[in-house]
Amino acid sequence: MEIEKKYRIKQLPENLDSYEKKIIEQGYLCTNPIVRIRRSNEDYILTYKSKFGIEDKQSQNACISNEVEVPLNETGYEHLKAKVDDHMIAKTRYIIPLTDGLKAELDIFREQLEGLYFVEVEFPSEEAASEFVPPEWFGEDVSRDKRFKNNYLATLDGYQEEMFQ
């Protein structure tokens, strides 16, 4: 089960190059349930996400979904990439340590979504998500805002800041 919150950014953290980063490309084969392919550095992954079985357990503090990841090889990834709906998403993800063993995953988008960035935090429990106090550089909680969901972003031809105001 994945329990996460997503936030806008007030200001980017300093020294981003000092953090672990992943170069990510991802696309969607289906959005209900979500079937996604992703290349993260040199890893290739097929992900299935659904709300099945947890519809009645939605938290007010976080987005919760069932998530299964299966490794792919490069050939399988490229085959599926030709079948994705809409656009591939390109982003750089910075992994920034937070308190209590949590990590911020700061996504800075490239290509058609250049100029967009936000941060996600995954939690071990709903209680941890509820008690989370975001760092000063985090902005508004947009966990429930569909405009910040990657499967929605894949449908956009470009990024315009006013679309996210």
- Could you give the residue numbers annotated as active site? 28
The Cα 5–Cα 155 span in angstroms is 22
Residue type, 80: L
- Give the HSE-up count for residue 59: Cα atoms under 13 Å, Cβ half-sphere: 19
Per-residue DSSP letters for 34-97?
A: EEEEEEETTEEEEEEEE-TT-GGG--SSSEEEEEEEEEE-HHHHHHHHTT-EEEEEEEEEEEEE
Specify whether the CB–CB gap between 73 and 96 falls below 8 A: no
